[in-house]
Amino acid sequence: MSAWGIGVVIKACVALRADEMRKEEGSGEYWRAKAAEGPTIELQQAPLSTERLRRALLLLPLFPRFVYVLRVLEGYSLSYVTSILNVDKEACQDALNYSFGALAEALMPVQLAKQK
């Protein structure tokens, strides 16, 4: 699919979930506070696989998930991600930082998590 086509699909997805995205977007301050609280995602025990990674990504709140997928998996620049999602750079960066910690915790083996 061309970059233009991918952009159209992403913008359609964002438009479809706009109300939910607005609720979770908050601000940079909101996502810094969420990261400081620590994620509340239930840990998984299965060995790392594509399916396990997919399930862990689906556990992320919608806004950080969109940011993570667009920035990390699709490789878009942070400025392009902010323009697609129509958010400020600070909120986008803080949601991305949150997603790194939450995803790491979601993928952490249960035994290691209990030792924390």
Q: Per residue in 57-111, pLDDT tens?
A: 999 999 999 999 999 999 999 999 999 888 889 989 999 999 999 998 888 765 4
* pLDDT the model gives residue 112: 46
Domain count, the chain: 1
pTM: 0.62
11-67 pLDDT tens trace: 777 777 777 766 665 667 777 777 777 766 665 555 677 888 888 899 999 999 999
Cβ-based neighbour number of residue 39 at 10 Å? 20
Structural domain including 40 reads 3-115
* pLDDT the model gives residue 111: 44
| DSSP notation for the chain | --HHHHHHHHHHHHHHTHHHHHHHH--HHHHHHHHHH---PPP--SPP-HHHHHHHHHHS-HHHHHHHIIIIIS---HHHHHHHHT--HHHHHHHHHHHHHHHHHHHS-HHHHHH-
Amino acid in position 24: E
